[in-house]
Amino acid sequence: MAAEASVALMHRITNIRLPGPLPGDGDQRYAINLDEQGLICRIEAMGTEAQQEAQQTDADWNGDWLSPRGVDLQINGGLGLAFPELSERDLPRLEELLELLWRDGVEAIAPTLVTCGIAPLRQALAVLRQARELHRPGRCRLLGAHLEGPFLAEARRGAHPREHLARPSLETLDERIGGFETEVALVTLAPELEGAAAVIGRLQELGISVALGHSTATAEQASAGFDQGVAMLTHALNAMPGLHHRAPGPLGEACRRGGIALGLIADGVHVHPTMAVLLQRLAPEQTVLVSDALAPYGLADGEHRWDERVLLVENGTCRLEDGTLAGVTLPQLEGVKRLARWSHAPSAAIWSATVAPRRVIGDATGCMDALVGRPLTQLLRWHQKEGVLHWACAA
């Protein structure tokens, strides 16, 4: 209550920075005005004189950044729950997970369902539908699901079980999502597979976004997929051909074309820090940080179960027993802190997890758009100390 009262009394905050993807974006200082309800009603750029003439009643943030909370478009579970294995009895634990995500600075997630059987997939979609109806303040919001599979290239399947991969067709798509079309926000597939074009077209008709991932596509095949409506790369550089001077692959084509979101796991294991920084510099407005967190997110390192397999977790990295890299247990905003440390570009790192994903889902066009009309209690304040980025609730 005390925090809410202080927000109501505070009408203007000065010397705020807003995150942005380009060099120099974080240099401009702003003043924000709050209305009687404590909602941001106006954001104004400050000149040097305005910074010096700030009123004594203003709250001075000394150049700290203000941002929305994170939006994670690829997260597979947490607190021991794997989203493809959800049943109705898991609802209380799922609510606990959504509260943990909010505490970890994440406002919304696209719960990711990796390749699995048809019956478990449909059951999980039904449970997620129930969970959305239980949403309340102080809890992370569930977006539509992200189906990562089953239309994936076997050669690039990674940790996805081979027995549940499927050839793309309208029939196999309907078997999985028929009746749940409005519960799905994103589908990752390999566009080079026979039948994929028809599936992409159907998903477009349904208003479901499509991502390229777990794919052997050449630059030319990726380009055809982008022409058909593929709008994102799922965990760029992972489970797809890499950048090569004579074979640019999907990533090279996405960067050349622009406008294609590039999901990036910034744990330092999936993608080397140098490559993560190069990707950010090559395509700053396209980079979207995702966690790729698995069921052990929120639990201690050690051995954990993942469907019928054993998952080995060490220092936040998840591998199968054969060494196959499966995911992480790190919060999304930990990726922001790591990318900021590697790149020395904190503004861009913050933007890539808090504003860039909103552009993908059509929730906002930019940072100001994502902030106006929101209370500080729903936003984040970032500051740097000795080169390390830190965040906290803005109020």
81 near 89, Cβ under 8 Å?
no
Take residue 153 and report the two structure tokens written for it.
């290239």
What whole-number distance in Å separates Cα of residue 35 and Cα of residue 38?
Answer: 5
220 near 244, Cβ under 8 Å?
no
What whole-number distance in Å separates Cα of residue 25 and Cα of residue 48?
Answer: 16
Confidence at residue 169, expressed as pLDDT on a 0 to 100 scale: 98
DSSP 39: B
What count of other Cβ atoms lies within 10 Å of the Cβ of residue 275? 16
- Ramachandran angles phi, psi of 192, nearest 5°: -80, -10
Catalytic: 58?
no
Dihedral sign for Cα 261, 75, 290, 182, please. positive
Among the listed residues 292, 301, 363, 369, the single catalytic one is: 292
Take residue 37 and report the two structure tokens written for it.
């309800």
Per-residue pLDDT of the chain (395 residues; tens, 9 = 90+): 444 444 444 589 999 999 999 987 778 999 999 999 999 999 999 986 555 555 556 899 999 999 999 999 999 999 999 999 999 999 999 999 999 999 999 999 999 999 999 999 999 999 999 999 999 999 999 999 999 999 999 999 989 999 999 999 999 999 999 999 999 999 999 999 999 999 999 999 999 999 999 999 999 999 999 999 999 999 999 999 999 999 999 999 999 999 999 999 999 999 999 999 999 999 999 999 999 999 899 988 888 877 778 889 888 888 888 889 888 889 999 999 999 999 999 999 999 999 999 999 999 889 999 999 999 999 999 999 988 999 999 99
Q: How does strand 70-75 pair with strand 106-114?
A: parallel
What whole-number distance in Å separates Cα of residue 78 and Cα of residue 104?
Answer: 12
What count of other Cβ atoms lies within 10 Å of the Cβ of residue 298? 18
- DSSP string computed for 51-91: HHT--TTSEE-TT-EEEEPEEEEEE-EETTEEGGG--GGGH
Class of residue 201 by CB neighbours under 10 A (exposed 0-12, middle 13-18, buried 19+): middle
